[in-house]
Amino acid sequence: MTEKMPLIGEKAPEFEAQTTQGKIKFPKKYKGKWVVLFSHPADFTPVCTTEFVAFQRKMGVFKKMNTELIGLSIDQVFSHIKWTDWIKEKLETKIEFPIIADDQGEIAKKLGMIHPGKGANTVRAVFIIDPKSIIRAILYYPQELGRNMEEIRRMVEGLRTADKHKIALPANWPENELIQEQVILPPAQDQATAEERLKRANKGEIECKDWWFCYKKLKK
């Protein structure tokens, strides 16, 4: 029986784990950093192999966003090591982020990563966790579909931007079909704020489709 999956806005579950880079206490080790914690069904499988190469090739981009990558599956650490050795030898890609060896499945249960209809393997889950150890986003992919690393990068960048500027972001940001790279001001919660928004729009400080749909360019 799987445990309840954590929800967006909750603290990330605490656990100790063996990884390919030694033992860690999570999320304590990553306090002050963003984290992309992702599970894969199993080592030595083709879709997972393509994902790990793709994550590794984006690792520098994530690092620039103060973001750490951590993998996880229900495999022993020896399996992780042999698999990453194979990836390095055959695909000329060194996996530099840690991989949790959850061979008892206890961590996967805490995170709701085991689908009862998919046997004992972990599903393709992604948890984006902020520097305060709060879960900010959760993605679930089926076993037959590999993840889109660019979307995961976009999500981390978007969450960081939203936190910094206290704004929201439109669909497909920063290439939205209506407002392009501009960002959305949170909807006015009272009449005075709504009126103030329209005054700012008249002055050219912001743009508005209406009082509840206002947006602006971020200052570089």
Is residue 135 domain-shared with residue 184, that is, in the same domain?
no
For residue 168, what is the DSSP state? B
User: Is 108 part of any domain?
Assistant: yes
The number of folded domains in the chain is 2
Is residue 131 domain-shared with residue 215, that is, in the same domain?
no
Q: Which of 48, 101, 149, 183 is catalytic?
A: 48
- Whether 214 sits among the annotated catalytic residues: the reply is no
- 121-164 pLDDT per residue, tens: 788 999 999 999 999 999 999 888 999 999 999 999 999 999 99
Q: Give the CATH number, domain containing residue 182.
A: 3.30.1020.10
Is residue 143 domain-shared with residue 170, that is, in the same domain?
no
- 16-71 pLDDT per residue, tens: 999 999 999 999 999 999 999 999 999 999 999 999 999 999 999 999 999 999 99
| Separation between Cα atoms, residue 175 and residue 95, nearest integer Å | 31
Is residue 41 domain-shared with residue 86, that is, in the same domain?
yes
Give the Å distances, CA to CA, from 81 to 64, 84, 85, 87, 188.
26, 5, 6, 10, 53
Strands (DSSP E) contained in the chain are 15-19, 22-26, 34-39, 67-73, 99-101, 124-129, 135-141, 183-184, 207-210, 213-216
User: Which of 207, 153, 202 lies closest to 181 in space, CA to CA?
Assistant: 207
pLDDT, averaged across the chain: 93
Q: Give the CATH number, domain containing residue 85.
A: 3.40.30.10
Is residue 130 domain-shared with residue 204, that is, in the same domain?
no
Structural domain of 202: 166-220
Is residue 119 domain-shared with residue 209, that is, in the same domain?
no
174 preceded by cis ω (within 30°)? yes
User: Is 6 part of any domain?
Assistant: no
